[in-house]
Amino acid sequence: MEIKIRRRRGQIAETTVKKEVEEEEQPLSPAARLFHAPEFNCYIISVVGLKNKIEPDMIIEGIKQTLMRHPRFSSKLVNNCNNNRQEQKWVRTNVVVEDHVIIPKIQTQHIENANADVFLESYVSDLTTIPLDTSKPLWEVHLLDLKTSDAENVAVLRIHHSLGDGMSMMSLVLACTRKTSNPNELPSLPYQNRPSSGSSSLKTSSRCYSRFFWLVMVLWSAALLVLNTVSDALEFIATALFLKDTETPIKGDFKLSKGKRMCMVHRTVSLDDIKLIKNAMKMTVNDVVLGVSQAGLSQYLKRRYGEQEESKRNSSNIPKGIRLRAALLVNLRPTTGIQDLADMMTKGSKCRWGNWIGYIIFPFSIALCDDPLKHLRRAKSTIDRKKNSLEAVLTFVVGKILLNTLGVQRAANVLNRALSNTTMSFSNLVGPVEEISFYGHTVTYIAPSVYGHPHALTMHFQSYMNKLTISLTVDPTVISDPHKLCDDWEESLRSIKAVVQERTSTQ
**Average predicted confidence (pLDDT) for the chain:** 83
Percent with pLDDT over 90 in the chain = 49
CA 369 – CA 329 distance, rounded (Å): 27
Write phi, then psi, for 77 (nearest 5 degrees). Answer: -85, 130
The pLDDT of residue 262 is above 70: yes
Residues 339/186, Cβ–Cβ less than 8 Å: yes
Residues 413/39, Cβ–Cβ less than 8 Å: yes
Give residues with Cβ within 8 angstroms of 107, minimum separation 6.
none
Per-range mean pLDDT, top range of 17-21, 447-451, 486-490? 486-490
The sign one gets for the Cα dihedral 142, 143, 146, 149 is positive
Instruction: List, for residues 176-208, the tens digit of each pLDDT value.
Output: 777 787 777 767 667 555 444 334 443 444 454
For residues 478, 243, 291 and 43, what is the CA-based torsion angle, rounded to 10 degrees? -50
Least confident of 135-139, 220-224, 277-281: 220-224
pLDDT at position 407 is: 84
- Which architecture characterizes domain 26-179 according to CATH? 2-Layer Sandwich (3.30)
Which is catalytic among the residues 142, 161, 453, 460? 161
Q: Which amino acid is at 356?
A: W
Residues 234/392, Cβ–Cβ less than 8 Å: no
Domain with CATH 3.30.559.10 in the chain: 26-179
CA 51 – CA 437 distance, rounded (Å): 9
Residues 405/232, Cβ–Cβ less than 8 Å: no
**pLDDT confidence bin for 54, thresholds 50/70/90:** very high
CA 301 – CA 322 distance, rounded (Å): 11
* Short-list 259, 289, 32, CA closest to 168: 32
| Average pLDDT estimate for 146-160 | 93
SS3 letters across 54-107: CCHHHHHHHHHHCHHHCHHHHEEEEEEEECCEEEEEEEECCCCHHHHEECCCCC
Residues 336/351, Cβ–Cβ less than 8 Å: yes
Domain with CATH 3.30.559.30 in the chain: 224-430+454-506
Residues 347/23, Cβ–Cβ less than 8 Å: no
CA 99 – CA 133 distance, rounded (Å): 11
Least confident of 170-174, 370-374, 463-467: 170-174
pLDDT at position 16 is: 40
For residues 379, 381, 383 and 386, what is the CA-based torsion angle, rounded to 10 degrees? -150
| Average pLDDT estimate for 229-247 | 93
| Homologous superfamily, domain 224-430+454-506 | Nonribosomal peptide synthetase, condensation domain (3.30.559.30)
∠ CA 191-151-49, nearest 5°, is 45
CA atoms within 13 A on the CB side of 358: 20
Residues 336/349, Cβ–Cβ less than 8 Å: no
Active-site residue flag, 161:
yes
Instruction: List, for residues 113-133, the tens digit of each pLDDT value.
Output: 668 999 999 999 999 999 999
| Average pLDDT estimate for 453-475 | 95
The pLDDT of residue 260 is above 90: no
Give residues with Cβ within 8 angstroms of 259, minimum separation 6.
129
